[in-house]
Amino acid sequence: MDWSPFEKNVKASGNSRRERELNKARHYLNKYGENNPSYKKVKINGVDDVLAINTGTQPYYKKFHTLPDHHIQTGDYVEWADTVWLVKTADFDDELIIDGALQQCNYVLKWQDENLNIIERYAVTQGATAYNTGLNETQLITVGYNQLLVLIPFDEDTKNLTRGHRFFVSNTLKDIRPYKITSFDTTTNIYNGHGYISMMLSEDQLQKDDNVELQICNYHEKENIDITENTRSEISYKSTKIKSGYKKGTTFTANFYNGKNLVNDISPRWELKCNFRDELKIVEDGNKITISVDNDELINQHLSLILSDTEGNYTADELLLEVIGLF
């Protein structure tokens, strides 16, 4: 008996039982999935699509899964129910469907790029309660140390942001506050070039060129500035923590830039703002400064490290530091 027609018919749905079961599941989901109430019409990065969204989870956090052969990645935007959501996770196992999690965006960050074009991105903002210490009253000035954790997609515009960049983050104009990037993570949540950036923003002071009406910090009209000139200082570091009792201390390096070009032979000027300055041991060596402390009563206290140049030609950079335990 010739079994070849039977075998040919069986293999039409797949070469193995597993493949046939997967193809059957794909066919079923594609045929009936969009009629399932769980599947919602959405836009993914502006393109019409559908997602099964679990609306029973927390209000601003949702789980989802796709239809077969539909694609979604960490860091994508999902528009649904007149809201914008950031894809926090998306499983790489897409053999049948992709499942993951969404978090609702609650703010639009605005800034200018190097060519002074205005950039806008939906972002997730939340209070960084683990780092929030309110106000730190020093002998010279009262500095606000309220902090925000901000999540924003990694793309051609956001990857050019740097520590020290400033944004307005406020829904009111009466007490609008600028914030500055003090920590910038471009690795933890990015895979194969897709994902999102995690930024820690610390409360900053208003500056003369902050445009409150447009809600853009350090705003400049294109015709009023030479965009080739952008002199700034920047503190580089491996940690923002000062370990009490650690004799080697924590070292920070002064860098000075004109546009994207690193400028050498600039004399740094360091300034520390805190109410326990006498407890710190400070060693300056060329363009480096090392700070150490040996007093466990200062654990969880914060201090501000400010870098400028002795000639006053470069905009200052400020970094928020924290005293922690040795172990």
Q: Which pLDDT tens digit goes with each residue over 194-206?
A: 999 999 998 888 8
The pLDDT score that the predictor gives to residue 9 is 43
Q: Nearest 5°: phi and psi at 58?
A: -60, 150
Q: Residue 24's pLDDT is what? A: 59
How confident is the model at residue 291, as a pLDDT?
A: 95
Going by C-alpha positions, the residue among 105, 102, 33, 108 that lies closest to residue 70 is: 33
Copy the structure tokens of residue 165. Answer: 């960049």
Q: Do the Cβ atoms of 236 and 257 come closer than 8 Å?
A: no
Tokens of 231: 């002199």
pLDDT number for residue 230: 72
pLDDT, residue 102, reads 95
3-state DSSP assignment of residue 29: helix
pLDDT digits 0-9 by tens, 221-236: 876 555 445 788 999 9
- Cα separation, 91 vs 63, whole angstroms: 12
Q: pLDDT of 86-144, one tens digit each?
A: 999 998 766 667 889 999 999 999 999 988 899 999 999 988 654 443 334 444 434 44
Pairing of strands 317-324, 241-243: parallel
Tokens linked to 284: 């300056």
* Separation in Å, CA 259 to CA 115, 118, 157, 250, 314: 11, 18, 16, 28, 11
Contacts of 261 (CB under 8 A, 6+ apart): none
**pLDDT < 50 regions, the chain:** 1-12, 130-144, 227-228
